[in-house]
Amino acid sequence: MADLVTLAKPASLSPARSRAGDRLGRKVRRNASAHGFLIGAVLCFAFFSWYPMYREIVMSFQKTQLGVTSWAGWANYRRIFHDPTFWVAWRNTVEFTILALIVGYAVPFFVAILLNELRHAKGYLRCLVYLPVMLPPTSALLLFAYFYDPTYGLFNDILHTLHLPTSQWVQSPGTTPPTMAMISVVIAATWMNMGGATLIYLAALQNIPGELYEAAEIDGAGLFRKIRHITIPQTRLILSMLLLLQIVATMQMFVEAFILTNGGAGVNDNTLSVVNLIYQYAFALSGASNYHSASALGVVLMLVLAVFSGGYLWLTRQPER
């Protein structure tokens, strides 16, 4: 008994101390290994995401002369606000966004409603709508540029055969919105991208409880009243989320205008988007390449987009109703 006590005493003391040390040690080790797992991704975020965000804001307030970078205050912002192209680019971007919403937002919704009603060929039709999304954008856009060609293009040939007036399509010179040039860009962009939205709507439609439709039928509701009073309210969350996502995506339009007009921005800049202008400021105006003005423009676009993506995040946090 006594032996046990004397034995137990030192034994019970030292494990207590070592247990505390152990716990700390284990905690440190556990955290070290946890951070070890994280470090690769965190470094990539730091270098290629977080730092560039900070850098964009800093660069927009700087200037570089003869290799020396110094503080410039609001000079870059004043310069871009005084550049008439800045306003042209914004007008075009808003025009593109609105047109793309009218076509690229409503069309997929009704296509999804239509597809959801069909009992046959579902898999085939779903694949069809999504097929263009998988194409390399350059392939799709060069094909559309070929269709749009005013002399030998397919679209003008179809219009000609139907005895309709032909068009210059993406090469139309007009600058008063809505321009034919921008409508052409929107048609190509919608063909390329509508698959994603359509399939998301389709999934949302399938989540609508069937009893709601049954109840509405008992109340004598017709097709359109069912769409208005059941389908749309039931998919409202997805509808508004996609609306915001689509605004954010379309306001960053670059490649469509760039390739359809072969690296340019349309006749009289009528398809020049804000991102096209950032590219021109930073990389394309030979000799006058200016990262600082481009950064200032980037900050302006970032602020505008942040409003919409903030709205998106706010919506997705709402409890689902």
Window 171 to 210, contacts with other proteins (CB under 8 A): 191, 196, 199-200, 202-206, 209-210
C-alpha–C-alpha distance, residues 197 and 174, integer Å = 31
- Closest CB to other proteins among 268 and 309? 309
3-state helix, strand, coil in the chain (%, to 5): 75, 0, 20
Residue of 11, 24, 106, 131 that binds other proteins (CB under 8 A) = 131
Task: Name the one range near other proteins by CB under 8 A: 7-15, 82-90, 109-117, 168-176.
Answer: 109-117
Residue of 68, 218, 223, 288 that binds other proteins (CB under 8 A) = 223
Task: Name the one range near other proteins by CB under 8 A: 3-11, 78-86, 97-105, 137-145.
Answer: 137-145
Q: For the chain, give the longest Cα–Cα distance.
A: 114
Residue of 72, 95, 108, 132 that binds other proteins (CB under 8 A) = 132
- Closest CB to other proteins among 115 and 170? 115
177 CB neighbour count, 10 Å cutoff: 15
C-alpha–C-alpha distance, residues 73 and 79, integer Å = 11
117 is a site residue for other proteins (CB under 8 A): yes
Whether 220 and 234 have beta carbons less than 8 Å apart is answered as: no
Burial 25-57, CB ≥16 within 10 A → b, else e: eeeeeeeeeeeeeeeeeeeeeeeeeeeeeeebe
Task: Name the one range near other proteins by CB under 8 A: 72-80, 98-106, 164-172, 241-249.
Answer: 241-249
Residues 257-286 that bind other proteins (CB under 8 A): 258-259, 262-263, 275, 278-279, 282-283
Q: Given phi > 0 = left and psi -120 to 50 = alpha, else beta, which region is 136?
A: beta
C-alpha–C-alpha distance, residues 117 and 213, integer Å = 13
Q: Kindly state the smallest distance separating residue 78's Cβ from other proteins, in Å.
A: 19
77 is a site residue for other proteins (CB under 8 A): no
Q: Verify cis geometry, omega within 30 degrees of 0, for the bond prior to 10.
A: no
Residue of 4, 48, 82, 287 that binds other proteins (CB under 8 A) = 48
Residues 84-103 that bind other proteins (CB under 8 A): none
